[in-house]
A and B are shown apart, each in its own frame.
Chain A
Amino acid sequence: MEWGGVVGYGLFLLIYGGIYAISALGLNVQWGYTGLFNIGVGGFFLVGAYTSAIMTKGPDFSHLGGFGQPFIVGVLAGGVLAALLALLIGIPTLRLRGDYLAIATIGIAETLRLIVTNEQWLTAGVWGIGGIPKPLFSTFGSAYNAFYAVLVLAAMVLVYFAIERGIRSPWGRVLKAIREDEAVAQAVGKDVFRFKLQALVLGAFFMGVAGALFAHFVGYISPEAFEPMNATFLVWVMLIVGGSGNSKGAILGAFIVWVIWSGTEFVAAALPPALGPRAHALRIVLIGLLLMVMLLVRPQGVLGEERQVSKLLRQESGSRQASAGG
């Protein structure tokens, strides 16, 4: 019994930590590498989850559906739709100051929550979508969580290597140059807007995939699951704790923060039931304070950023500083 509990918790940790890690890796492409301020992570996560759920389910009269596509198609469609959404939001905002993107992403996340809450025909509204297919459920039966943990971790590793490859290429160095000094990147002839858009879209794709993996694991989604706290803020804390600008940091942060987050749930569960809703608020206050302390004490995160300043940047910033004396 004891052992079963530990193993069960360990699998949950791997699954949720892995799903959050994919989201955090996506955010790391946007914020960590490119400096794009997306506070609507939850919106892209939501699109991924709902898209995949609708794509893979059989007919259900309570909402749009009946496409019955395989799991993998659903997950990819979730990612693609999230990416398209990023494209839509990026075009009007990425040429403007960074804050505008932040505001617009919050806006899109909140608007999406309104849509899934109110458009019954599409998403069944507050009732939520249940019975989302679990891939190969009958094959694995009682060992299903172990299988799903492997599946999620495999996806996470795949995403990790894809990002690492991209970021070590010339493309990745341009992203970092944009983050460090947009004017310099522009001055050496890079189409800053296009690179930013690519980073935003790529990151959103991973968030959509994470959302889809989440939907297929829990089997039931409703608007409540995509509160800004769970879907957006936790991911930010993960990235900051782990170390933004570092893919390993994003993964590490995801697992650390998920352990803390779920740990506080155990503590909350031990409190008298009258305190239940309050305990939930207290958990979030604690996570918020964790973020503040991190920002104040160790803003580079546990791992910090990997040092590999691009040659382009170093040369350019040198000559720029020299000319600033004129």
Chain B
Amino acid sequence: MALLEVSGLRAGYAEVDILHGVQLTVQAGEIVCVVGPNGAGKSTLMKAIFGLVPVRAGRIVFQGEDITGLGPAQIVRRGMCYVPQNNNVFPSLTVEENLEMGAFIHPGDFRQKMEEMFELFPILKERRRQKAGNMSGGQQQMVAMARALMLDPKLLLLDEPTAGLSPKFAELVLEKVVEINQRGVSVLMIEQNARAGLAISHRGYVLTMGRNRLDDTGHNLMANEEVGRLFLGG
């Protein structure tokens, strides 16, 4: 059984549909990357899965349970966490407080989990009392990922985790994604740098105009001529 199974998904804003029947699966233990040109509906897909955009048709099944139509608060409780592309930290809260908010619904002690996060992101330990808003973009991305991991999710959704970062930081963030995955968290991510994203992914999906275009292993997609022409610049 797949961890996440999306089928025939139609969703959008107001009167306009952005997704016209998308299908996608994530198996336990995988990193899956969604690529596609601007306006393909990648972010909308992720928001629809997480209950932030109304779903008009189709089904979203997570760990064997139909979660179509549930809100973010209910989905979080089922073991899926989401890192938005922008504004993904609480700027006036310290790093520690950001992580604590990530564990908000967790009733017990979160110290243990926080230490784990500091182990994964040592830089955050150094800056634990600093306000997240005063940190660099790359550091904020790490705060955001750590915040989302505080609840021990089965699946982590990452919306363009390297957007706006320097190449050095982008590389570091993607390394962290692999490390998170090795700790047993499945990852579904959108990456505008398709080559880098696909390189670390087990499988990838190419989305255009709100429809599935291609899906294959990350490796094969990178080698695919059409994909190369479309997004890899050559």
Contacts and interface: CB of A to CB of B under 8 A. Distances in A.
Complex contact flag A–B (Cβ < 8 Å):
yes
Contacts of A324: 13, 18, 44
B40 A326 contact: yes
Contacts of A6: none
Contacts of B41: 325-326
A322 B16 contact: yes
Interface string B23-52: 000000000000000111111100000000
A212 B39 CA distance: 56
A321 B40 contact: no
Contacts of B15: 321
Contacts of A322: 16, 18, 39
User: Of A317, A324, A325, which is in contact with the most chain B CB atoms at under 10 Å from its CB?
Assistant: A325
B102 interface: no
Contact of A326 (B12, B14, B16, B39): B39
Nearest to A321: B16
Contacts of A326: 38-43
A318 interface: yes
A139 interface: no
B44 A325 contact: yes
Interface in A279-326: 317-318, 321-326
Contacts of B42: 326
Contacts of B12: 321, 325
A325 B34 CA distance: 14
A326 B38 CA distance: 5
A321 B16 CA distance: 7
Nearest to A317: B14
Contact of A321 (B13, B38, B43): B13
A269 B16 CA distance: 57
Contacts of B43: 325-326
B16 A323 contact: no
B204 interface: no
A322 B38 CA distance: 11
A294 B195 CA distance: 57
A318 B14 CA distance: 10
Contacts of A323: 39
Nearest to B41: A325
A326 B43 CA distance: 6
Contacts of B39: 322-323, 325-326
B96 to A, nearest CB: 32
A321 B39 CA distance: 10
B161 interface: no
B72 to A, nearest CB: 18
A163 B179 CA distance: 65
A83 B18 CA distance: 46
A321 B44 contact: no
Contacts of B38: 326
A291 to B, nearest CB: 29
A315 to B, nearest CB: 13
Given A326-B38, A326-B43, A321 B14 contact: yes
A322 B15 CA distance: 10
B40 A318 contact: no
A280 to B, nearest CB: 46
A326 B42 CA distance: 6
A175 B103 CA distance: 46
B87 to A, nearest CB: 16
A320 to B, nearest CB: 9
B182 to A, nearest CB: 31
B197 interface: no
A304 to B, nearest CB: 20
Interface in B1-30: 12-16, 18-19
Nearest to A319: B16
Contacts of A318: 16
B210 interface: yes
A38 B44 CA distance: 37
Contacts of A321: 12-16
Nearest to A324: B13
A313 to B, nearest CB: 13
A56 B39 CA distance: 64
Contacts of A317: 14
Contacts of B44: 324-325
A325 B14 contact: no
A323 B39 CA distance: 6
Contacts of B16: 318, 321-322
A322 B12 CA distance: 9
Nearest to A318: B16
6 contacts: A321-B16, A322-B39, A325-B13, A325-B43, A326-B40, A326-B42
**Which 7 residue pairs across A and B have the least CB separation, nearest first?**
A325-B18, A321-B16, A325-B44, A326-B39, A326-B38, A325-B41, A321-B13
Interface of B: 12-16, 18-19, 38-44, 210
Given A321-B15, A324-B44, 13 more contacts: A321-B16, A322-B18, A322-B39, A324-B13, A324-B18, A325-B12, A325-B18, A325-B40, A325-B43, A325-B44, A326-B38, A326-B41, A326-B42
